[in-house]
Amino acid sequence: MFIHETAVVDEQVEIGADTKIWHFSHILKNSIVGKGCSIGQNVVVGPDVKVGDNCKIQNNVSVYKGVTLEDDVFCGPSMVFTNVFNPRSAIRRMDEIRPTLVKKGASLGANCTIVCGVTIGKYAFVGAGAVVTKDVLDQALVVGNPARQTGWMCECGEKINDDMVCSVCGKDYQWLNDVNDNSGDDGIVFVDLAAQQKKILPDIEANIRAVLQHGKYIMGPEVKELETRLAEFVGVKHALTCSSGTDALIMALMAYGVGPGDAVFTTPFTFIATAEAIRILGAVPAFVDIDPGTFNMSVEKLETAVLEFKKDYPSGLTPRAIIPVDLFGLPCDYDGINKIARDNDLVVIEDAAQSLGAEYKGRSAGGLADIGCTSFFPAKPLGCYGDGGAIFTDLDEIAEKLNSVRVHGKGSDKYDNVRLGINGRLDTLQAAILLAKMTIFPREVQKRRDAAQRYTRVIEGLQGGGGVVVPGVFDGYKSVWAQYSLLAKDGEMRSRIQERLKENGIPTAIYYPTPLHLQTAYQDLGYKKGDFPVSEDCAGRIFSLPMHPYLTKKEQQRIVTAI
Ligand SMILES: *Cc1c(COP(=O)(O)O)cnc(C)c1O
């Protein structure tokens, strides 16, 4: 320990071994300074302050009461802490101190100011001259006044590039998992929207603020920008955002004039919205059973169904369209489906509510048929913070109709109504949120694929494959893994596995417990048990594991062990 003769150290102060205190510095009473610290010139610490081990406090810094520095904190020269938020000289507020915490390894640049009451995360980096007014995440880099996050920093003090690998020390941060691993040991969630939000919060906040400032809440500039980016992402000419995935399907059917007297082929193994959109327009869903390997509509069965339908025209219905569903994020076999559609003069509407980000033979889901519909429901691969959806097409005429249907069937304006329409717009705030999410979406898609691959590898390594069937992967298909779904041997085995996982704090879900032809609301269609045996069999024994881009290897290992 070294204390320069001009320094003042009060009573009841603890100073650790190997700590040096230089000229004119003052350590006030009841303060603790750890081992191996360097306290520069003209520094004030305390009273009642705790400074961890190996901290460096440069010249002219006052670490006031209320401030806590963990180990390895660097305070640059002349940086400033405060401890009263709204000081007035004439009003005594020393009993209103707001505590400030600087976590392990953080660096506070020269001349920066840390407004009291904030927490600076582990290994965070505050740029020189920044004014920090709110909490800084672990390993975040913040600059400016007020300080905003512009990136992430490695423990070694270098910026981390987009691959989450430090270009200098080579440390692989593996996405967010290791950067901010707050998942603990019991925090497995089915879809982790909080981890995603943590990663992009500054962008989301900035985008929302921009909307609040310009005030164009309906069809604001963010909606146009999002549509441009979505069209580019999917590789189609037109992307029209809308109020939900369900409305996307309804609007697509409306644009093609599907209604009473029409039949639409679709799968009974999907979310209710697919068939609901058909029925709400007065058309009739004609169900086609699925392929047991993909859970998607079987092309062979579709071909048979179309032929049979034409042969006996059971109820005088006109077949108009096919709505295949890319279930769990895996695209259907569109070469097969589109050919049947062409041969029979049917429109194909891709229900891509779960598959945005997926690929089929090098083309993007959403753009695999005449028209594609997706959903931005929060739990979908690309979700907003409410309801939202989008429709994709290359056809100008259909895009124009959709544009009209979306706003009450408008003609030259919304008070000139040329067709039946709905209020089907996406609101500007949701567009702003989606724009922030889109920047990390491609990376998230890759992370989902990595997680699915890990699940499959580890489950297949279990004795007897864990008694479950893992989802297939197929040449030319790249799923976006909206769900990772397993088939148990039977319903009883499924219940036992789900129970076991639940005891271990692991949530599971069943998509979907009842095929649509057996739903109460659809009884009038005249279907019965046994009509679609593959869908019924899958519904009886399928279940899904937690799946999101922020799932760690450790978490997956825990989940599989419980199986
Ligand atoms: C979620 C979903 C929809 C409906 O989307 P919303 O945005 O919730 O209306 C339609 N089809 C499928 C297959 C879905 O998973």
pLDDT of residue 288 exceeding 70: yes
Write down the pLDDT at residue 3: 96
Write down the pLDDT at residue 176: 47
Helix, strand and coil in the chain, % to nearest 5: 30, 20, 45
Chain segment 179-234, per-residue pLDDT in tens: 444 444 457 888 888 889 988 999 999 999 999 999 999 999 999 999 999 999 99
Write down the pLDDT at residue 194: 87
Chain segment 391-441, per-residue pLDDT in tens: 999 999 999 999 999 999 999 888 999 999 999 999 999 999 999 999 999
Q: Is the CB of 274 under 6 A from ligand 1?
A: yes
Q: Is the CB of 183 under 6 A from ligand 1?
A: no
Question: Regarding predicted confidence, which is higher, 218 or 465?
Answer: 218
Cβ proximity of 317 and 284 under 8 Å: yes
Q: Is the CB of 271 under 6 A from ligand 1?
A: yes
Q: Is the CB of 246 under 6 A from ligand 1?
A: yes
Q: Is the CB of 375 under 6 A from ligand 1?
A: yes
Q: Which residues contact 233 (CB under 8 A, 6 or more apart)?
A: 364, 438, 441
Write the DSSP symbol of residue 346: -
Once rounded to an integer, what is the mean pLDDT over residues 527-538?
A: 97
Centroid of ligand 1 to alpha carbon of 266 (angstroms): 14
Pairing of strands 140-143, 148-152: antiparallel
Peptide bond before residue 47 is cis, with ω within 30 degrees of 0? yes
Write down the pLDDT at residue 163: 66
If one residue of 350, 375, 511, 512 were mutated to test the ligand 1 pocket, choosing by the most ligand atoms within 8 A of its CB, it would be 375
- For residues 450 and 260, give the distance between their C-alpha atoms in angstroms, rounded to a whole number: 45
- For residues 34 and 19, give the distance between their C-alpha atoms in angstroms, rounded to a whole number: 7
When computed from its CA atoms, the radius of gyration of the chain, rounded to whole angstroms, is 30
Amino acid at 372: G
Once rounded to an integer, what is the mean pLDDT over residues 259-265?
A: 96
Q: Whose CA is nearest to atom 2 of ligand 1?
A: 353
Q: What are phi and psi of 232, to 5 degrees?
A: -65, -45
- For residues 68 and 139, give the distance between their C-alpha atoms in angstroms, rounded to a whole number: 18
- For residues 349 and 334, give the distance between their C-alpha atoms in angstroms, rounded to a whole number: 11
Write down the pLDDT at residue 120: 97
Amino acid at 323: I
Question: Regarding predicted confidence, which is higher, 166 or 57?
Answer: 57
pLDDT of residue 313 exceeding 70: no
Chain segment 80-106, per-residue pLDDT in tens: 999 999 999 999 988 889 999 999 999
Residue 303: in which H helix or E strand, if any? helix 299-312
Pairing of strands 50-51, 32-33: parallel
Mean pLDDT, all residues of the chain: 94
Write down the pLDDT at residue 394: 98
Confidence of residue 172 (pLDDT cuts 50, 70, 90): low
Confidence of residue 109 (pLDDT cuts 50, 70, 90): very high
Provide DSSP, 504-530.
TT---B-S-SS-GGGSGGGGGG---TT
Provide DSSP, 62-127.
EE-TTEEE-TT-EE-TT-EE---SS-BTTB--GGGPPPEEE-TT-EE-TT-EE-TT-EEPTT-EEP
Write down the pLDDT at residue 350: 98
Centroid of ligand 1 to alpha carbon of 246 (angstroms): 6
State if pTM tops 0.75.
no
Structural domains of the chain, with CATH: 203-438 (3.40.640.10), 441-562 (3.90.1150.10)
pLDDT above 90 coverage of the chain, percent: 85
Write down the pLDDT at residue 182: 44
- For residues 252 and 526, give the distance between their C-alpha atoms in angstroms, rounded to a whole number: 26
Report which of 148, 142, 176, 149 is spatially closest to residue 162, judged by C-alpha positions. 176
